[in-house]
């Protein structure tokens, strides 16, 4: 077949498909009749083949461009995925996908938690044994001195109460999310930067706790920290787990190529860290409105533990894969 014959025999088909695509694009597929839908499904494969044939016959580039655009438009009408509304998509992510992702990546969470726990306890013990170490782990911001008038956690609470609550809550949420993003983003250093963020924050908390304990203020300290801190620390550890997932996918690609492993790790890590945003919002609101309030310390501590426990329960229970019935058990009959 000559190029001229090819153009003559196929032009009518292209014109017809173009008319159908134009009509569907203007009014979506629902604007087409059943006969036109059948034509669309019948004509699209032939035009897709014509794209290759036009190149083979070295047809005019403008005609080739028209055919290529026509095939792409027809393919989009037939095979495009239906877009989901934003709110149902977000609900589905937190209702099902995020808890499953968290459970799948539990080894990274366990590693981040182990680094945090060891660092915290090391700084706590070192500061309890040698109180001056508090100024090594936390060189700035210690409220309790070794001489002069002591500043208790109640004084800190009073200063919090004097700050307008909405701006304070917003600032706290922003700061906590910033820490989490640093723990996540530094995963690109093969996880070394993530480990540093976890270690630094853990040692600071351990030194603070020991410093207050050395002055007989353990209960006021934990009643001030626990309401928001338990969930806040958990969320930072989740972000750190995301950073470790990213870093180890780069450092240890396994059977995948390094680029493929990094793409997979980055996708998991981004989704995991996105799920911490509601945790930080809750922790920030508690820190801005509940922590400085005139509420008994034991209630604040119970509140902090309860909120964190509910979040952990959600991550461990919600979105469980349905069990497939009718499958033979090991050693059973078929």
Are 274 and 304 in a shared domain?
Answer: yes
Total tally of structural domains belonging to the chain: 2
CA 84, CA 77: separation in Å to the nearest integer? 16
Residue 171 lies inside a defined structural domain of this protein: yes
pLDDT for residue 97: 93
With the C-alpha atoms ordered 158, 159, 163, 169, is the resulting torsion angle positive or negative? negative
Q: Are 245 and 265 in contact (CB under 8 A)?
A: yes
| Segments forming the whole domain that contains residue 247 | 86-317
Are 227 and 265 in a shared domain?
Answer: yes
Are 157 and 119 in a shared domain?
Answer: yes
Are 109 and 207 in a shared domain?
Answer: yes
Last residue of a domain, one of 79, 101, 136: 79
Burial string for 162-190 (b: 16+ CB within 10 Å, else e) reads eeeeeebbeebbeebbebbbbbbbbbbbb
Are 242 and 281 in a shared domain?
Answer: yes
Are 46 and 189 in a shared domain?
Answer: no
pLDDT digits (tens, 9 = 90+) for 11-35: 899 898 888 888 887 656 667 788 8
Can you tell me the mean pLDDT for 252-271?
90
Last residue of a domain, one of 79, 106, 124: 79
Q: What does residue 322 show for φ and ψ, rounded to 5 degrees? A: -65, 140
If you average pLDDT over each of 89-93, 158-162, 309-313, which comes out highest? 309-313
Lowest mean pLDDT among 85-99, 149-163, 223-237, 249-263: 149-163
Three-state secondary structure readout of 66-106: HHHHHHHHHHHHHHCCCCCCHHHHHHHHHHHHHHHHHHHCH
Are 188 and 279 in a shared domain?
Answer: yes
Are 37 and 141 in a shared domain?
Answer: no
Instruction: Look up residue 290 and give its two tokens.
Output: 């509940």
Average pLDDT score over the chain: 83
Are 64 and 102 in a shared domain?
Answer: no
Are 144 and 248 in a shared domain?
Answer: yes
Are 223 and 142 in a shared domain?
Answer: yes
Higher pLDDT, 1 or 252: 252
pLDDT digits (tens, 9 = 90+) for 56-72: 888 888 888 888 888 88
Residue with tokens 């630094």: 200
Residue 330 lies inside a defined structural domain of this protein: no
Are 130 and 243 in a shared domain?
Answer: yes
């Amino acid at each position: 077949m000559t190029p001229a014959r090819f153009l003559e025999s196929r032009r009518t088909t292209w014109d017809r498909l173009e008319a159908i695509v134009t009509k569907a694009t203007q009014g979506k597929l629902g604007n087409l009749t059943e006969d036109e839908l059948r034509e669309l499904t019948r004509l699209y494969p032939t035009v897709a083949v014509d794209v290759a044939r036009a190149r083979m016959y070295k047809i005019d580039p403008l005609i080739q461009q028209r055919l290529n655009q026509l095939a792409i438009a027809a393919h989009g009408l037939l095979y495009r995925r239906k877009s989901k509304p934003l709110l149902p998509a977000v609900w589905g992510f937190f209702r099902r996908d995020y808890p499953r992702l968290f459970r799948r990546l539990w080894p990274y969470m366990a590693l981040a938690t182990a680094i945090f726990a060891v660092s915290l306890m090391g700084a706590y013990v070192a500061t309890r044994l040698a109180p001056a170490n508090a100024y090594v782990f936390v060189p700035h911001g210690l409220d309790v001195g070794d001489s002069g008038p002591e500043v208790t956690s109640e004084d800190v609470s009073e200063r919090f109460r004097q700050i307008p609550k909405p701006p304070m809550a917003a600032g706290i949420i922003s700061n906590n999310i910033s820490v989490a993003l640093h723990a996540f983003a530094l995963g690109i250093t093969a996880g070394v930067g993530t480990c540093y963020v976890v270690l630094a924050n853990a040692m600071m908390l351990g030194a603070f706790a020991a410093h207050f304990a050395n002055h007989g203020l353990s209960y006021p300290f934990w009643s001030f920290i626990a309401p928001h801190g338990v969930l806040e620390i958990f969320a930072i550890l989740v972000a750190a787990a995301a950073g470790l997932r990213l870093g180890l996918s780069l450092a240890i690609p396994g059977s995948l190529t390094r680029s493929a492993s990094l793409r997979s790790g980055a996708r998991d890590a981004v989704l995991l860290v996105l799920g911490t945003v509601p945790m930080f919002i809750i922790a920030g609101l508690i820190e801005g409105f509940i922590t400085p309030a005139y509420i008994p310390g034991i209630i604040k501590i119970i509140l902090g533990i309860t909120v964190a426990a509910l979040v952990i329960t959600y991550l461990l229970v919600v979105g469980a894969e349905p069990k497939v019935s009718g499958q033979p058990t090991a050693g059973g009959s078929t």
